[in-house]
Amino acid sequence: MSKNVFRPFWNLDIIETENWLCEMSTYGYYLKEIKTATKVFVFEIKELEMNEFEEIQYKICYHKTGIIVASGLLLKNGWNSVFTKGKWSILANKNDKAQIKTHPSRENLLNRSRFIKYSIGLLLAMWFVMSLMPMIFLTELLL
């Protein structure tokens, strides 16, 4: 059995998405795939007899080249690839949060977030300046 959840802006707040995925695992919903075009998360529902679900730690990775290479160190520390599509991959670790010593790199993800933030800021600044231009020209014409 599976459950589909629509999350349109999941890739803008990565840490919140990772925490949400971890919370979903405590309810027995384990990530199966993400339909990136429709922004739908597909979960596999596992039912246990005593309702004791394991908490899974998720990390979202972004790779500029689209080549995803799981390092031996990550594999040795319990990280497994749950989902990979294009430049995105999601790694999961079933170990306790305190036992996890190694985490995937966030450099490409931070660069992507920074680029999006500055692009939106630049567009808003251009919109603001362009909205002031007619007022400046109209006041000059009226004088």
Question: What pLDDT, in 10s, does the model give residues 70-86?
Answer: 677 888 888 998 988 88
**Residues 85 and 34: beta-carbon distance below 8 Å:** yes
Rounded to two decimals, the pTM is: 0.77
Model confidence at 12: pLDDT above 90: no
**C-alpha–C-alpha distance, residues 113 and 36, integer Å:** 17
CA distance 61 to 103: 10
Distances (CA, A) of 130 to 15, 126, 136, 140: 35, 6, 10, 16
- Identify whether the C-beta of residue 17 lies closer than 8 Å to the C-beta of residue 7: yes
Q: In whole angstroms, what separates CA 6 from the centre of its chain?
A: 13
| Segment among 70-79, 113-122, 125-134 with least mean pLDDT | 70-79
